A and B are shown apart, each in its own frame.
Chain A
Amino acid sequence: MSNSTGAAVRFEKVQKSYDGEIMVVKDLNLDVAPGEFLTMLGPSGSGKSTCLMMLAGFEPATNGEIYLNDKAINSVPPNKRGIGMVFQNYALFPHMSVAENLAFPLKVRGISGADIDKKVKRALEMVELGAFGNRRPAQLSGGQQQRVAVARALVFEPDLILMDEPLGALDKQLREQMQYEIKHIHENLGVTVVYVTHDQTEALTMSDRVAVFEDGIIQQLSPPDELYESPQNSFVAQFIGENNKLSGKVTAINGKVCEVLLDDGTSVKSEAVNVSAIGDRTTISLRPERVEVEPEVSMDNMLSGKISEILYLGDHLRIVMEVAGNKEFIAKVRNRGELRPLKKDQTITVGWAAGDCKALDPVA
């Protein structure tokens, strides 16, 4: 028994292997606070879904222990864990009506018929599907099915809800709308949510904290803004948002700032995040919107770039250019209504502050 930590969910040294050769999850330690919306974000095969399946009880952990409200649950079967779950393809039972689907977890628990009706009605109203109780899932649109699936996971009032890429099958507009709805339901009910997705926008807009998975390891566990502003390694920087990469060698470290000699001979000042010693290889990460085109004041870094493409996107211009040997260096220029005399093949000056670029671990 571990000491009382107050965590709703706790992974302790959890490891998972399917074939005895490859570790899908390597040494996972994670606490989820009660009422928290935690997202496991990562590319497919990064181990995030496996973690969710272990938490739900459908996959046994090869090593380590998972705690639910400070109780070890490794030997508890999934139906005794009391966790609500929303599946990727909703898994609504096709041979039951919407109301019967919602009543299912209540019937299992032996709740009386009148109470079931009341709870089902309330849950359906919560997702604004009050008039749809008698329909079959196949008669609903994708978005409606998704709401039924959420309602079904919530109807028996679990403390913890797991969501496995629940919005993956919806189109973009509906997905955005559902993001808000799920977020509001979470805020109103105060349940703990563990959410799995490979969509970074979903992760950033909905979560209290995001755990970025790659290679069976949590690469970074931070609130969304921190994840975007201060990535701790190159994988996170590249996975979250857009990102310009500049490779070079560390030549000096002064506290939080370091000097990097880029491969084409240019020297750049950067915030030192993931470098330890002079002479280390590093990859600098810089967000395209932090790049100033033709800066009017002097900046920490001033480089020249040759424009190869200009894309007009309405709210901003996207300029692709070659800077310090990187042919896909991107700058996003906000549309302020002023005309910009920029043309293809033109050479311009770009600048950015040292604090806006992060010297991280090197990538090839």
Chain B
Amino acid sequence: MSDSTSPILTADGTPLKAKLAQTTRRLRIKALLLTLPLVIFIIITFVLPIGQMLYRSVHNPTGIMVTPNFAEAIQEWDGEGLPDDRFVEIFVKDLALAKKNREIGKTVGNLATRVNYEIPGSRSLITSTARKAKNIKEGPYLDALIKINKKWENPAMWLTLQRASKEYTASFYLAALDRKYDDKGDIVMADELYQIYIPILMKTLWLSAVITLLCFILAYPVSYLLSTLPMKTSNLLMILVLLPFWTSLLVRTTAWIAMLQTEGIVNDFMVFLGVIGDDGRIQMIYNMTGTIIAMVHILLPFMILPLYSVMKTIPPSYMRAAKSMGASTTYAFTKVYFPQTIPGIAAGTLLVFILAIGYYITPALVGGNDGLLISNLIAGHIKSTLNWSLGAALGTILLAVVLVFYWVYNKLVGVDNLKFG
């Protein structure tokens, strides 16, 4: 009997664990070297951009860049009523200096844009004030500003400037969640007109759920057929399933446009059959219907493949055994077959749902206005409005939603049970 407290030794007296580590070290180094290119690639193309996105969604440099002295001083202000004249004096001088210098990234326009995010319509206030700032020679500075524009009487204006002068901010997240600071600096819902992101996010989730459900309903019987047919036939069918994969996304989407537009093939055919009148052509594209149809088509293989790979491993003898024991086909299916396909269902739905949440190109092409998804808004902020910080905040929220779904899935199904193929 070996003593459980003393370490096991090899024949030459070295501890077994040390010896084992020594013999496997070379293998571990080899494994590390083999994966190194991919690890570097992922760090450069994925981890760093994601990190940058997270940083950008909270980073708030404008105030510090444009009005550095004011940014530092205003933090002492308690935020009650209007600021002391000494703060305003620094602000006016900073503004005049920024106007004079016109350095890239430090212009008055930058600050104006930043403040405009929180108080729409205040852009011109800042720029026009900056133009007149150099003419203000002596105090009281606040009164001088109010003389230029009445809006400087509003404490919210100064609170916003104070917030814009901090290096890190939650403002972009508030905006992404349709919230804002009110005149007293408390967080409230944005005006109804400006509440767009949460409804779009909800619509994205809902649409993704619908697309996932449709994919599941369409994919389950096909996968079953694929898994039970003889190899030759199932290979042919599998090619048909994979065909959308091999077709360019643009070609597929264009095909849908040709099919579904009001003067398209489907509508023409229904008019020809007399199902609808010539004046009653159905709008099936450039709206939510178009987005759903096209995305179900594109994401279907992601549902079929995991289902197929799971069903392929379920021998027909299970159903036969259940029937031989007296179970009807329905009973045998629900109690024996279906539970065994759950890993495939879980993998397929997770895959389709997560892909659908972040899908961008298809809704952009066939979605019209009401088929737009959250990713289209993010793209809009990155490409057209150039509010990268808000885009980053929205992107981070989307990432968080995906992670939450993954976590919930893990709780419900267990990631170990997922079977992607």
Contact = CB atoms under 8 A, between A and B. Distances in A.
B416 to A, nearest CB: 14
A292 B326 CA distance: 56
A110 B327 CA distance: 11
B331 interface: yes
B135 interface: no
A93 B318 contact: yes
Interface string A109-128: 10000000000000000000
A82 B320 contact: no
Contacts of B327: 79, 104-105, 108
Task: Give chain A's interface secondary structure class.
Answer: loop
Contacts of A84: 324-325
Given A91-B315, A93-B336, A78 B323 contact: yes
Task: Give chain B's interface secondary structure class.
Answer: helix
Contact of B340 (A56, A83, A94, A104): A94
B339 interface: yes
B317 A89 contact: yes
A87 B340 contact: no
Given A88-B317, A89-B315, A95-B340, A56 B335 contact: no
B125 interface: no
B275 interface: no
Given A93-B336, A104-B335, A108-B331, A87 B321 contact: yes
Interface residues of B, number: 19
A162 B320 CA distance: 13
B24 interface: no
B190 interface: no
A168 to B, nearest CB: 13
B149 interface: no
B318 to A, nearest CB: 5
A85 B327 CA distance: 13
Contacts of B320: 56, 58, 78, 85, 87, 91
B402 interface: no
Contacts of A58: 320, 323
B200 interface: no
Nearest to B320: A58
A91 B325 contact: no
Contact of B324 (A78, A89, A94, A109): A78
A108 B327 CA distance: 6
Interface in B296-353: 315, 317-318, 320-329, 331-332, 335-336, 339-340
Contact of A79 (B315, B324, B336, B340): B324
A156 interface: yes
Contacts of B329: 79
Which of A77, A81, A94, A156 has its CB near the most chain B CB atoms (within 10 A)?
A94
Contacts of B323: 57-58, 77-79
Interface of B: 315, 317-318, 320-329, 331-332, 335-336, 339-340
29 contacts: A57-B323, A57-B324, A58-B323, A78-B320, A79-B325, A79-B327, A79-B329, A80-B326, A85-B321, A85-B325, A87-B317, A87-B320, A87-B321, A88-B317, A89-B315, A89-B317, A91-B315, A91-B317, A93-B318, A93-B321, A93-B322, A93-B336, A95-B339, A104-B327, A104-B335, A105-B326, A108-B327, A109-B326, A153-B324
Q: Which 9 A-B pairs have the closest CB atoms?
A: A105-B325, A91-B321, A85-B324, A91-B317, A108-B326, A78-B323, A79-B323, A87-B317, A108-B327
